[in-house]
Structure 1
Amino acid sequence: MQIDSKLVKELREKTGAGMMDCKNALKETSGEFEKAIAYLRQKGLASANKKLSRQANEGIIESYIHTGSKLGVIVEINCETDFVGRRQEFHELAKNIAMQIAASPSIIYVSYDQIPPEIIETEKQIEIGKEDLINKSEEMKKKIIEGRIEKTLRSFCLLDQPFIKNQDITIEELIKQNIALLGESIKVPRFTRYVLGQYN
């Protein structure tokens, strides 16, 4: 089938994938734009997952100061080579992540596996004591508690947040899209959020 070049261009801008990849995705999905995005994400993210495990010792430290200068963020973003570290797309990703942290006061950790066991236990004790669970069976109570704990703890994690500029993807998916685009492992090892007058 004939694929409209404007549609290919639009898909490329939205996903960051190559022109031929976009054209093939549209062919594979009979020209359906949203399905083509999903197709590219499946293909791109598959390769991105492999690259995630590679060493990433280059990169940048990005900062973001919110309007009014009462809130600021410093975040380290790593990649594998200085070449990618200088790319505009990499800098844009870093800026977006810094803005995400600034916009999300609940974020404390980069990822779920960084949450200390004592924090998980504290949340568990809070949920166990809630009155709406009193008349539930033990099995039902356990499921509800686990679900609530996970939801609360995920809200503390940067990678699990819906991207402020596109709520359809998480920050983890945004990073994987950039891994697919730039061809290197990308990691966020740490960040600091400053709020004027807060010292803890």
Structure 2
Amino acid sequence: MTIEISAKLVKQLRDQTGAGMMTCKKALEENNGDFDKAIESLRLKGMATADKKSSRNTNEGIIYAYVHTGSKLGILVEINCETDFVARREEFVELSKNIAMQIASNSSLDVVSLEDISQEIIDETWNFESNKEDLQNKPDNIKEQIIKGRVDKSLKTRVLLEQEYIKDSSISVEEYIKQVIGLLGENIKVARFTRYVLGE
């Protein structure tokens, strides 16, 4: 027996997730009308869709300029997608704005992904962590594990995709982008960003 799903509930789910009406209705039906489970199901489907599209070329997109209140901080971010049609969509522009605000909120960010961190910075961080006093009397194998854990944690603070998303701390920036990929049906990548701070 199929549970009766009200149009109001479908609209509520659409407003919250941005997914299409039929997709929302199906998600609610599959989860017996449970709103939270339907959101989680749409989120997971978005992730699956995003992973399938990750190898597709992203030659279109926009450069989004965000100036923080007070005009002392500005962000330029280039976000790419597959077609000009998607680049003009309101949801894509909103994603660009949210990513720019994310960058503005955290001055330690300087790269998009872990792959963008130079070997020089990795080595510097490793040397810094290796010389901490609390490690001196630890056995080598334990010391190595502690250093690796600290280096990974330290490097992640510099990486945009690894951050908690400012508008929903239950997901990372990378997961947020994957949700939008699931919604828009195209691969999306943050190509680069620049931060301008007045006087620097």
Is the TM value for this pair above 0.5?
yes
Superposed CA RMSD:
1.4
**Take 1:43 and 1:106, find their aligned partners in 2: how far apart are those partners?**
32
**Take 1:167 and 1:194, find their aligned partners in 2: how far apart are those partners?**
26
TM-score normalised over the length of structure 2: 0.93
**Take 1:45 and 1:26, find their aligned partners in 2: how far apart are those partners?**
18
TM-score normalised over the length of structure 1: 0.93
**Take 1:127 and 1:117, find their aligned partners in 2: how far apart are those partners?**
15
Question: Which residue of structure 2 aligns with residue 31 of structure 1?
Answer: 33
Q: Secondary structure at the match of 2:112?
A: coil
The structural deviation recorded for 1:64 is 0.6
Kept in 1, the 8 Å contact 2:46–2:180? The answer is no
Stretch of structure 1 that moved more, 60-69 or 137-146: 137-146
Unpaired segments ≥5 residues, structure 1: none
Kept in 1, the 8 Å contact 2:66–2:76? The answer is yes
The structural deviation recorded for 1:30 is 2.9
Question: Which residue of structure 2 aligns with residue 47 of structure 1?
Answer: 49
Match of 2:193 among 177, 184, 191: 191
**Take 1:20 and 1:139, find their aligned partners in 2: how far apart are those partners?**
54
The structural deviation recorded for 1:6 is 2.8
Structure 1 counterpart of 2:10, which letter? Answer: V
Kept in 1, the 8 Å contact 2:13–2:24? The answer is yes
Kept in 1, the 8 Å contact 2:65–2:100? The answer is yes
Question: Which residue of structure 1 aligns with residue 106 of structure 2?
Answer: 104
The number of residues matched between the two structures is: 198
The structural deviation recorded for 1:49 is 1.2
* Alignment of 1:179 onto 2:181: yes
Stretch of structure 1 that moved more, 9-18 or 67-76: 9-18
Stretch of structure 1 that moved more, 159-168 or 21-30: 21-30
**Take 1:138 and 1:35, find their aligned partners in 2: how far apart are those partners?**
46
Question: Which residue of structure 1 aligns with residue 130 of structure 2?
Answer: 128
Question: Which residue of structure 1 aligns with residue 150 of structure 2?
Answer: 148
Please give the per-residue CA displacement for 1:114-151, whole angstroms capped at 9, x wherever unaligned: 00011011111111111222233322222221111111
The structural deviation recorded for 1:175 is 1.0
